[in-house]
Amino acid sequence: MVITSFRSASRALAIGLLLGATAVFLSACYPVYDLMPSDFDIAFTQYSTEVNFGAYKKYFMPDTVRQIVAPGEKEDPALHAFDAQILQTAAANLTGRGYTRVADSSQANFAVIPATLKASYTGYYMYGGGYWGYWGYYPYYPYYSTYSYSTGSVFLFLNDFAKRIDNKPGTVWFGSLNGVMNIDTQSGARTRITNGINQLFQQSPYLVSAQ
């Protein structure tokens, strides 16, 4: 390919550079979504397809929520502020689906075990290192910055007393909420927990008593 005249070459070059700049511009045009704290929440459920959840009638649920911590670590007392709400919301959903809560586990078909977990993440990023100036490249010592965030999880384990695995009641349904903490008010977090637990049951239409 050859350029056959100066006028066509300069016109072609100008158009080429304009379109090249457009390519760079469009590459930066990923849409920005204004995300709320609740947009980072996910609700996950998994269940055994061999179980007839309609055959269950009575369930046992403890009055406390277990907090999962690594060996040697202490529990976060702030997380227990949501215990009553977790128990209340789970009980309301189970009652609405025809299950009856009993205080004596020996009279129950299954147990619902709630638990919470807090995980913290820390990372760092680097920017800089140099820039192109009039006389060439100007290096400078890069800057480092750190970031950290915490996630909170709420778990519901549904264990069948009749199906035992390693001499313990087997889990036949599992629900998990996960969301980012420390970016919301406490009342906002309460709303998200309530909505999340409701969503766990909403996406489990098979979880209803036929008794």
Partner 1 sequence: MRTLAAVLLLFCVATTAVAQGSFAGANWTIGFPTGRTNDFISKTSFGGMGVDIKRFFDDNATYGLNFGWSQYSEMVNETATWPSGALSGTQIRYLNLFPISLNADIYFGEKRDELKTFAGLNAGAVMVRMRDDIGIYSFESTSWHFMLAPEIGFWFPVERGTYVTISARYNYAFDNGIDVFGNDVNKHSWVSLNIGLGWMQDWF
Residues that bind partner 1 (CB under 8 A): 1-4, 8-9, 11-13, 15-17, 19-20, 22-24, 26-27, 29-31, 33, 35, 38-49, 149, 151, 178-180, 199, 203-204
Closest separation between CB of residue 22 and partner 1, Å?
7
Closest separation between CB of residue 179 and partner 1, Å?
7
Closest separation between CB of residue 117 and partner 1, Å?
14
Q: Which of 108, 117 has the CB closer to partner 1?
A: 117
Cβ proximity of 75 and 67 under 8 Å: yes
Cβ proximity of 6 and 161 under 8 Å: no
Element (H, E) at 42: strand 42-47
Q: Which of 103, 126 has the CB closer to partner 1?
A: 126
Q: Which of 67, 151 has the CB closer to partner 1?
A: 151
Q: Which of 17, 84 has the CB closer to partner 1?
A: 17
Query: Measured at the alpha carbon of residue 194, what is the angle toward residues 112 and 160, in degrees to the nearest 5?
Result: 10
> Across the chain, which distance is largest between two alpha carbons, in Å?
94
Closest separation between CB of residue 200 and partner 1, Å?
9
Cβ proximity of 94 and 114 under 8 Å: no
Closest separation between CB of residue 35 and partner 1, Å?
7
Residues in the chain: 211
Q: Which of 15, 78 has the CB closer to partner 1?
A: 15
Handedness of CA 98, 104, 107, 112 (dihedral sign): positive
Q: Describe the crossing of helices 83-96 and 186-202 by its angle, rounded to 10 degrees.
A: 30
